[in-house]
Amino acid sequence: MKGVNRQILEQVIAATTEPLLVVGIDQPDWPVVLVNPAFETITDADVLKKPFADVIEELAGRELALEVSETVRSQQETSLPIESNNREYLLVLRPLKMADEETARFYAAYWRSGTGAGTAEGAEMHHALLKAKRRIRDLSRDDPVTGLLNGRAFADVFEHDWAVAAREKGKLSLVTFTLDDYSAYLEVFGRHAADSCLRRVGRAIQRCLRRASDVAARLDGQRFIVLSHASDEDGVRKFAGQISTAVRELGLHHPRSNSSKFVTVSYEVLVADVSEEKRNAREFLAALLTFVAE
């Protein structure tokens, strides 16, 4: 079949009764590049060119925005229950790519009324299947102690965002956090308490993330890392300081700390000009983590 004219496609999309967005995920912050008139039934806000994660956060809250961001980053197709204007929808996320492309450059997001599963029993089975699929995904990508991304999943996210930044001649910011005197904390309180400490620190970091497109991960032991598309180094340092303060304010007693009577973190900030970097994403990340470990 011959390629369909763009104007014809736009007319078809405009006539679609389900609210629909198309998002460009090969650009920083994943801007909305197309929106149909039916989307006005969800919100009267102008969402064109706005970051996709921000749109979802405004419509359905931060938790769902984080889950949507993770789905897009992992290039998966999924459906999520969502409520807007006192109506229940199924938010369907679907990657769009050409036959010769390995990864998608666009995502379609559309709001289906109800569950789309036909019967109540079918709807329940449908949601159970989606939940099981997401659980399998999470088990392979999440750190079991903190619930943040694990090191391998973070490397995949970083490689994807690095490629986007390289095309757009953009910058990426990385902040690494290390728990101070963690081995001494482990000796005093034991593994169970140490895991609880890591979990609470991870949650404090997660709460401080400014946008759903920010990513936090636990690398290994007492090390964490945050990825952001922010390019202002002073702003990133202020952001890192806010996380450090949030961890200290947890008030986790640390009798053998050399810096405080509470658990604290040290941090390093790096803003990388990706277009000027000769190393690839994996080489750059490996060099950074080796430097931080020394």
- 267 compared with 75, residue with greater pLDDT: 267
In the predicted model, is pLDDT for residue 13 greater than 90? no
pLDDT-derived band at 119, boundaries 50, 70, 90? very low
* pTM given for the model: 0.70
151-293 under CATH 3.40.50.720, yes or no = no
Q: Name the β-bridge partners of 104.
A: none
The predicted pLDDT at position 9 comes to 72
Confidence at 217, pLDDT banded by 50, 70, 90: very high
16-28 pLDDT per residue, tens: 888 999 998 888 7
Enter the tokens of residue 213: 């497109």
pLDDT(120) > 80 = no
HSE on the CB side for 209, CA within 13 Å? 26
Residue extent(s) of CATH 3.30.70.270 domains in the chain = 151-293
- Where does the pLDDT of residue 188 fall: very low under 50, low under 70, confident under 90, or very high at 90 and above? very high
CATH of domain 6-140: 3.30.450.20
Give start-end residues of each CATH 3.30.450.20 domain in the chain.
6-140
Residue 253 token pair = 């007693």
Who contacts 165 (Cβ-Cβ below 8 Å, separation ≥6)? 28, 171, 172, 229, 274, 275
Measured CA to CA, the distance from residue 236 to residue 229 in angstroms comes to: 10
Give the H/E segment covering residue 182. Answer: helix 182-208
Separation CA 165–CA 230 (nearest Å): 11
Using pLDDT thresholds of 50, 70 and 90, give the confidence band for residue 69: confident
End-to-end CA distance of the chain: 58
Q: Which two tokens stand for residue 267?
A: 């941090």
Across the chain, mean pLDDT equals 84
Task: Give pLDDT tens digits for 260-277.
Answer: 999 999 999 999 999 888
Largest CA distance in the chain: 72
User: 248: pLDDT confidence band, cut at 50, 70 and 90?
Assistant: very high
Residue 115 is predicted with a pLDDT of 47
List of E strands, 211-253: 215-220, 223-228
pLDDT of residue 252: 95
pLDDT digits (tens, 9 = 90+) for 137-162: 555 678 989 989 999 889 988 888 88
